[in-house]
A and B are shown apart, each in its own frame.
Chain A
Amino acid sequence: MSHAWRPLFVVIGLLAVVFIGRAVFVPSDFSAKNGDYKYQWHREGNEDDWKNFKVKYKGGKEYCGECHDDEFTWISASKHANVQCENCHGPALGHPEEGPEKLAIDRSRDLCLRCHAKLPYRPTTYNELPSGPIRLAMQDPDEHNTDVECVECHDVHKADFKE
Chain B
Amino acid sequence: MMSTRQISRNKGGDGVKQSRRDILKLGAITIAGAVIPLSAFELLTPEALASTKKHGAGKRWGFVVNATKCVGCGMCVKACKTENEVPFDVNVSRTWVERYVQLKDGEVIIDSPKEARNGFIKNDPQGRQVKEEDIAKGFFVPKLCNQCEKPSCVQVCPVGATYRTEDGVVLVDRTWCIGCAYCVQNCPYGARFIHPDPKVNVAEKCTFCYHRITKGLNSACSDACAFGARKIGDINDPESEVHKLITNNRVMVLKPEYGNEPMVFYIGLDHIVR
Contact = CB atoms under 8 A, between A and B. Distances in A.
A40 to B, nearest CB: 6
B150 interface: yes
A87 B75 contact: yes
Given A113-B121, A117-B120, A52 B211 contact: yes
Interface in B141-189: 150-151, 154-155, 160-166, 171, 173-176
A33 B135 CA distance: 51
Given A42-B160, A57-B79, A84-B223, A120 B211 contact: no
Interface in A36-80: 38-43, 46-47, 49-57, 59-60, 80
Interface of A: 30, 33-34, 38-43, 46-47, 49-57, 59-60, 80, 82-84, 86-87, 90-91, 110, 113-115, 117, 119-123, 126-128, 136, 141
A117 B160 contact: no
24 contacts: A33-B166, A39-B150, A39-B155, A40-B165, A41-B160, A46-B174, A47-B165, A50-B171, A50-B211, A51-B210, A51-B214, A53-B210, A55-B83, A57-B224, A83-B226, A84-B224, A86-B223, A91-B79, A114-B75, A114-B119, A117-B120, A119-B72, A120-B138, A121-B140
Given A46-B171, A114-B75, A53 B218 contact: no
A138 B226 CA distance: 15
B207 interface: yes
Interface of B: 68-75, 78-79, 82-84, 99, 101, 118-123, 132, 135, 137-140, 150-151, 154-155, 160-166, 171, 173-176, 207, 210-212, 214-215, 217-218, 220, 223-224, 226-228
Contact of B132 (A55, A57, A120): A120
A121 B160 contact: no
B43 to A, nearest CB: 23
A128 B225 CA distance: 11
Contacts of B137: 121
Contacts of A34: 166
A113 B227 contact: no
Residue of B71, B140, B151, B217 ringed by the most chain A CB atoms within 10 A: B71
B79 A86 contact: yes
B226 A87 contact: yes
A40 B30 CA distance: 39
B174 A49 contact: yes
Given A119-B120, A123-B71, A42 B173 contact: yes
B262 to A, nearest CB: 14
Given A46-B171, A110-B121, A120-B135, 6 more contacts: A41-B160, A42-B163, A55-B83, A56-B83, A86-B79, A120-B132
B175 A46 contact: yes
A119 B174 CA distance: 41
